[in-house]
Each structure stands twice: as structure tokens, then as C-alpha cells.
Structure 1
Amino acid sequence: MSEPGRPARVRVTGPPRRRASGVRPTASREIDADTELGAVYMSSLLGEQLRLAAGVLVALGLTVGVLPLVFHLFPHLSEVRVAGVPVPWLLLGVLVYPWLLALGWIYVRRAEANERDFIDLVDDPESP
């Protein structure tokens, strides 16, 4: 019941069932479709980010986290002064904050680099 000159209406019920020949699924499609290969891609990214976070936490623990033990083992450090300021105050009140900023900066830079590498891997037309 279409008017002359107008094409007949077509009911669309889903995506076309045929695929163009020679088109391979990309890694991003695998991830979106939640396939086993997509899960491998995502677990590799998450594993890399987890290793990075663990490395930063270890660096933080070995530097800032050890300070209370150092102050306990060497109580005479509280008597040492630099420019009239006790060394524990200088370490905890001044020098820790630039170190925290440096660790945060390193973490963000490496995390972004990991994500860029992952995007390059996923968008590579030669990837499976």
C-alpha cells in the first residue's frame, strides 16, 4: 500500500545477518562483545595497571612508610636540627610532600602510557 514512486516500507528487526567478506573482527569489537579474546585483552591492561600501582605503593612504603621505624631505631634524630627545625619535622612536614607529588606524577604518566599502548594494540589492524 505504498504510493506510486515511493519505495515500500521495510521493517527493521535487527542488524543484518550477513557480513562483508574479508572483514575481520577487531580487538575493540572483541572487547565490546565480551568474548574470551576480549577478556584476555582487558586482563592484560588491568594486570599492567595493577603492577604499576603495586610498584608505586612499594616505593611509597619503602620510603615514607619506613620513617617511623627509623625514628624509633634512632631516637637521637629528634635532637638533630637543620636550620633550627628538627629532622623528623623536616622529613615529615616538608620533604614528604614533594616525594608524594613525584610518585603521583610518575604513576599518572605511566598509567596513561599503558593506556596509549593498549589503544595502539586494540586499534592495530594487524591484531587478531
Structure 2
Amino acid sequence: MRRRPPAHTPARSEISEQTTLGATYVRALMRSQLRAGLGALSVLALLVGTLPVLVALSRSASGPLVWVTLGLVAYPVMWLIARWYVTRAERNEADFTGLVMDPAEAPGTHRVPG
């Protein structure tokens, strides 16, 4: 007689039962999300922090240089930082979901209890 696989993977049951191991899994996810957020924030702070220096250095140059710096350099870089952060956060969550999901469940399918 074939043995039926467990309804939940051990990681999922550890989290739902709020055991120490489950808390460790959740803390690991939170740490990786925090690391990604702090990385994006530090690069953004570096970018925004250097803008006053660029403006001060460009005082001798023409006024449009400041606007070109702000419009053509700062915003695209901020968009790239935001895009990197969102991609990293989604990857962290996908990795975590892959850890706790039942291997028999395909992504996008829902089990109906029965």
C-alpha cells in the first residue's frame, strides 16, 4: 500500500504552529528583507547626499546643469534603485514560499480541502 505524503511540509507546519524553528524561518525572511531595504536606502542616501555637493560645485557653471543633473541623472538612478529593491524583495518572498510550500502544489494552483 502506498503511503500518502504529509499534507504540509515540515517548514509550513513549524511556522503555523509557531515553534522556535518556525520563528527562525520567519526571522530569516525578515532579515533578508531588511538587508535589501537597508541596501537600497543606503545607496539612495548616498545619491541624495551628493546632490547638494554637485549643486555647490556647479554654481560656477550655468543654471541648466543643475536641472540636467536632477532630471537626467538622479531620477533614473532612483528608479533603478527602486526596481532593484522590488526585484530583490520578490525573490526573497519567492524563496521563502518555495521553502514552506508543499512540493506537490504547483505555483498558481490551489488545493481544495476535501
TM-score category (smaller protein): 0.7 to 0.9
Equivalent position of 2:45 in the other structure: 61
CA distance in 2, matches of 1:25, 1:113: 20
Change (3 A) 1:122 1:86: same
Equivalent position of 2:10 in the other structure: 26
Alpha-carbon distance, 1:118 to partner? 1.1
Equivalent position of 1:71 in the other structure: 55
* 8 Å CA contact retained: 2:37, 2:85: yes
CA distance in 2, matches of 1:29, 1:78: 62
**Higher relative CO (CA 8 A, sep ≥ 6), structure 1 or 2?**
2
CA distance in 2, matches of 1:78, 1:93: 17
Equivalent position of 1:99 in the other structure: 77
How many matched pairs?
100
Kindly name which structure, 1 or 2, has the bigger radius of gyration based on alpha carbons.
Answer: 1
CA distance in 1, matches of 2:55, 2:73: 15
Equivalent position of 1:123 in the other structure: 101
CA distance in 1, matches of 2:9, 2:100: 11
Change (3 A) 1:89 1:25: closer
1:88 matched to 2:69? The reply is no
Q: Which residues of structure 2 form unaligned runs of 5+?
A: 104-114
Equivalent position of 2:111 in the other structure: none
Q: Percent identity?
A: 40
* 8 Å CA contact retained: 1:31, 1:41: yes
CA distance in 2, matches of 1:92, 1:102: 15
TM-score (norm 1): 0.65
Q: What amino acid maps onto 1:64 in structure 2?
A: V
TM-score (norm 2): 0.72
CA distance in 2, matches of 1:25, 1:122: 6
* 8 Å CA contact retained: 1:53, 1:107: yes
Alpha-carbon distance, 1:60 to partner? 0.8
CA distance in 2, matches of 1:108, 1:37: 27
